[in-house]
Structures are given as C-alpha cells and as structure tokens.
C-alpha cells in the first residue's frame, strides 16, 4: 500500500504542469476550478494538484465526435453581401 501512495504522490502535477499538459493557462484552470467545470483536482492545504490520470479522463470526456454535432441549418440567414442592393434614386423614379 505504501508504494501505491508514493507512486500517486510522485505523479501529482502542479497547476503550471497541468496547464502545460492541457495546453491552457494556469488562469484558465483557476477559472474552471472556481466555476466547478474543469478537471478534478486535489487540495492539499493551500496547494492545488492534479493527477495525470484525472486530466486524461477529463480530456476524454470532452471529446466530441462529428456525428454528435448537429448539422447547421443552411440559408437560415442571408449574409449582408448576398442581400439585394437598394435601388438608386433614378431607379426608384426620383428626379436627379
């Protein structure tokens, strides 16, 4: 049991290490902790630590497959470049 605990403690990542692993900033991890939407973490006194296993599991839970993404509705809105240009004064029958 002691080797298991030593192995677990040895594999703890700091906030900076976890941020580098996730390719995000330490500030993003802090915000996610505050909003309770980021990866699981350990609080040891004032220290925040992450396990690589928790980070990998969290990343896997964020995976989105293309079949899960709804297909956007086409032509729902007309882009401003595709709209008809307003008629000039002469075309509307106005005098110049």
pLDDT digits (tens, 9 = 90+) for 34-73: 999 999 999 999 999 999 999 999 999 998 887 766 666 6
CATH code of the domain containing 52: 1.10.10
The pTM assigned to this predicted structure is 0.61
Radius of gyration of the chain, Cα coordinates, nearest whole angstrom = 27
Mean pLDDT confidence for 23-36: 97
Say how many domains are in the chain: 1
Residue 90 lies in a domain: no
Whether 44 is covered by a domain: the verdict is yes
Q: Is residue 40 a part of any domain in this protein? A: yes
84 inside domain = no
Mean pLDDT of the chain: 81
The DSSP element (H or E) to which 44 belongs, if any, is: strand 42-44
């Amino acid at each position: 049991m002691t080797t298991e605990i030593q192995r677990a403690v040895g594999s703890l990542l700091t906030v900076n290490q976890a941020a580098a692993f996730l390719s995000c900033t330490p500030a993003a991890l802090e915000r996610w902790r505050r909003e309770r939407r980021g990866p699981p973490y350990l609080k040891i006194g004032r220290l925040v630590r992450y396990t690589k296993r928790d980070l990998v599991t969290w990343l896997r839970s964020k995976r989105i497959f293309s079949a899960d993404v709804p297909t956007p509705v086409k032509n729902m809105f007309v882009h401003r470049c595709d709209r008809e240009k307003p008629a000039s004064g002469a075309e509307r029958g106005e005098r110049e």
